[in-house]
Amino acid sequence: MSKPIWTLTLTSVAFFMVALDSLVVVTALPAIHRDIGGSISTLEWTVNAFTLTYAAGIITAAALGDRFGRRLVFVAGLSLFTLSSIACALSPTAGLLIAARAVQGIGAAMVMPVSLTILTTAFSAERRGTIVGIWGGIGGLAVAAGPLVGGAITQGLSWHWIFWVNAPIGVAAVFLSLLRLPESKGPATRLDLVAAGLIGGGALAVVWGLIRAGDDGWTDTAAVTTIAIGVALIAAFVAWESRAGDPMLPVHLFRNRSFSAANIAAFLMQGTLFSAAFLIAQYMQFGLGYSPLASGLRVLPWTATPLFVAPMAGLLSDRIGRRPVLVLGLLMQGAGLLWFAYVATVGVTYGALVPALVLAGVGVSMALPVVPTIVVSSVRRHEIGKASGVNSTLQRFGAAFAIAVGAAVFAANGHIGTPATFQAGFRPALAVVASLSLIGAVVSLAVGARAAAALAPDTQAAVEAA
């Protein structure tokens, strides 16, 4: 096997593992609840601990790869991800599981940005579009398969095995990466650890405050104070970055209306998708009584649609422009989830839920390929790398934020217990989450004509390499 093929294989395997773990846990949450206990807030931290550290580490990990070597950071991240997966599998309590998931997110953040850079530098420019398309398609397959794989493993073995399966794959990937991957470095950019601490701490405080408010009410002093501290830290991050010589987040990019609108839409789009997945996977089990495997199979009309619709949506956006596809997609996602919330009663038949799942799935599948294209076409060519990193980071922060919002609304209206009490919290929570997608559709109207148009060939090549 040639070196470029080894590079494609190893980076794709690592991407698949990381992407799979973003959603593989959602269908296992009821089994985790039965085994080690915990409220809806405890369950959401098993998702958000991973998502927050993942989001907070992406840009810093890319800078570390440029400075110290991309293969070195890739192998270190893969090793950390594998070891923390074993720690997740062995966790006897919810607290230890959440801590291990946080470390797993750090490993994922180290793997993701450098894997794409390693891959794109291994192939010639004329082949990058095809190669990155294969890499991205594998990631999409992992996201689609996450709930199904999680349900199948949980039911066939136990929830611990959704983490154990990473161990042999990770060990083999680390060993082969050391032997087969080329080493490369980039410009030695400054490591802005202050900025990383401010944005990571701010996001953590806001999410923790939202979770606390869901448990103890919005008059709880600790919850309100923590949210205020989080907002202050995020404001301090923006102020710090606006004066930095080589900022982690180039604040001036947000003066571009299309860049800002697309990133806000991405934040809300991904937040809606992950929060809805978190809620619906549990509704299938707690509310309707399906097994983990049956739950995973029943969400496929929603989670599998990107495999079929996203490529066609990309072609459609080339013909009619990005903005109408993005606006329509977010509207359809929000409408589908609102429809699901409306019909999701205790005695509902699965057939009544399928049209809503399909509508939401087609909607998000239309938006997914369009958002990053708008983001990178809104900036100058030399800024594409940072713009792409900002977009990826905001999407993951959006997931953590929306899961916290959905869980807070759920806790204020219902609780895990009987199907009726679960439904009482689920329906308003999903309705609020769906409204985030509708807000994203409105924001997307601000995308300018230049960014909404099809990309010129040279810019498209830069997008594929970013």
DSSP string, 221-280: HHHHHHHHHHHHHHHHHHHHHHH-SS-SS-GGGGGSHHHHHHHHHHHHHHHHHHHHHHHH
Residue with the two structure tokens 């420019």: 125
Which of 121-125, 309-313, 445-449 is modeled with the greatest confidence? Answer: 445-449
Residues of 368-381 as b/e, b for ≥16 C-beta within 10 angstroms? bbbbbbbbbbbbee
* In a domain? residue 319: yes
Q: Are 32 and 61 part of one and the same domain?
A: yes
pLDDT above 70 for 277: yes
Q: Of 145, 178, 211, which residue constitutes the final position of a domain?
A: 178
CB 137 within 8 A of CB 306: no
* In a domain? residue 81: yes
Question: CA 440 to CA 311: how far, in whole Å?
Answer: 21
In this structure, how many other beta carbons lie within 10 angstroms of the beta carbon of residue 168? 10
Q: Are 139 and 11 part of one and the same domain?
A: yes
Residue 154: the pLDDT is: 85
* In a domain? residue 188: no
Residue 205: the pLDDT is: 84
In this structure, how many other beta carbons lie within 10 angstroms of the beta carbon of residue 217? 12
Q: Are 198 and 112 part of one and the same domain?
A: no
Query: Where residue 285 falls among pLDDT bands split at 50, 70, 90?
Result: confident
Work out the average pLDDT over 409-435.
Answer: 85
Q: Are 161 and 277 part of one and the same domain?
A: no
CB 140 within 8 A of CB 28: no
Query: Where residue 126 falls among pLDDT bands split at 50, 70, 90?
Result: low
Residue 219: the pLDDT is: 74
Q: Are 199 and 174 part of one and the same domain?
A: no
pLDDT digit string, tens, across residues 21-79: 777 787 788 888 778 766 666 777 788 788 878 877 877 787 788 788 888 999 999 99
CB 271 within 8 A of CB 402: yes
Residue 40: the pLDDT is: 66
CB 281 within 8 A of CB 26: yes
Q: Are 271 and 381 part of one and the same domain?
A: yes
Return the axis-axis angle of helices 193-216 and 40-68, rounded to nearest 10°: 170
How many secondary structure helices (H) and strands (E) does the chain include? 21, 0
pLDDT above 60 for 163: yes
Q: Are 93 and 201 part of one and the same domain?
A: no
Provide the percentage of residues in the chain whose pLDDT is more than 90.
17
* In a domain? residue 185: no
DSSP state of 197: H
Residue 335: the pLDDT is: 95
Look up the domain containing 421 and give its range: 250-466
pLDDT digit string, tens, across residues 393-405: 788 788 878 888 8
The CATH number of the domain holding residue 379 is 1.20.1250.20
Min mean pLDDT across 102-116, 118-132, 285-299, 377-391 is at 118-132
pLDDT above 70 for 358: yes
Query: Where residue 460 falls among pLDDT bands split at 50, 70, 90?
Result: very low
* In a domain? residue 219: yes
Q: Of 245, 265, 280, which residue constitutes the final position of a domain?
A: 245
Residue 107: the pLDDT is: 92
DSSP state of 383: G
Q: Are 209 and 344 part of one and the same domain?
A: no
* In a domain? residue 183: no
| pTM exceeding the 0.85 threshold for the entire prediction | no
pLDDT above 70 for 459: no
Query: Where residue 80 falls among pLDDT bands split at 50, 70, 90?
Result: very high
CB 170 within 8 A of CB 82: yes
The amino acid present at 464, given as its one-letter code, is: E
Work out the average pLDDT over 132-146.
Answer: 68
pLDDT above 90 for 388: no
pLDDT digit string, tens, across residues 3-12: 777 887 888 8
Q: Are 151 and 295 part of one and the same domain?
A: no
pLDDT above 80 for 406: yes
Dihedral-angle region of residue 38 (phi above 0 means left; psi in -120 to 50 means alpha; beta otherwise): left
Which of 125-139, 301-315, 348-362 is modeled with the greatest confidence? Answer: 348-362
pLDDT above 60 for 128: no
The amino acid present at 246, given as its one-letter code, is: D
- C-alpha angle with apex 164: 416 to 89, nearest 5 degrees? 50
Residue 451: the pLDDT is: 53
Residues of 99-133 as b/e, b for ≥16 C-beta within 10 angstroms? bbbbbbbbbbbbbbbbbbbbbbebbeeeebeebbe
Mean pLDDT of the residues in the chain: 80
Residue with the two structure tokens 């996203």: 310
Q: What is the token pair recorded at 272?
A: 């809606």
Q: Are 295 and 224 part of one and the same domain?
A: no
Residue 385: the pLDDT is: 63
Q: Are 259 and 241 part of one and the same domain?
A: no
Q: Are 156 and 198 part of one and the same domain?
A: no
Work out the average pLDDT over 247-252.
Answer: 74
CB 110 within 8 A of CB 77: yes
* In a domain? residue 341: yes
pLDDT above 80 for 389: no
Min mean pLDDT across 16-20, 40-44, 344-348 is at 40-44
Residue 441: the pLDDT is: 92
Residue 462: the pLDDT is: 41
Residue 130: the pLDDT is: 61
Residue 125: the pLDDT is: 58
CB 330 within 8 A of CB 273: no
- Our count of domains for the chain comes to 3
CB 49 within 8 A of CB 99: yes
* In a domain? residue 186: no
Query: Where residue 464 falls among pLDDT bands split at 50, 70, 90?
Result: very low
Question: CA 184 to CA 173: how far, in whole Å?
Answer: 18
Dihedral-angle region of residue 189 (phi above 0 means left; psi in -120 to 50 means alpha; beta otherwise): beta
Taking the mean position of all CA atoms in its chain, how far away is CA 345?
Answer: 28
Work out the average pLDDT over 89-104.
Answer: 89
pLDDT above 60 for 123: yes
Query: Where residue 120 falls among pLDDT bands split at 50, 70, 90?
Result: low
pLDDT digit string, tens, across residues 232-248: 988 898 888 788 777 77
Residue 439: the pLDDT is: 94
3-state secondary structure of 346: coil
Closest CA to 265 of 384, 128, 437: 437
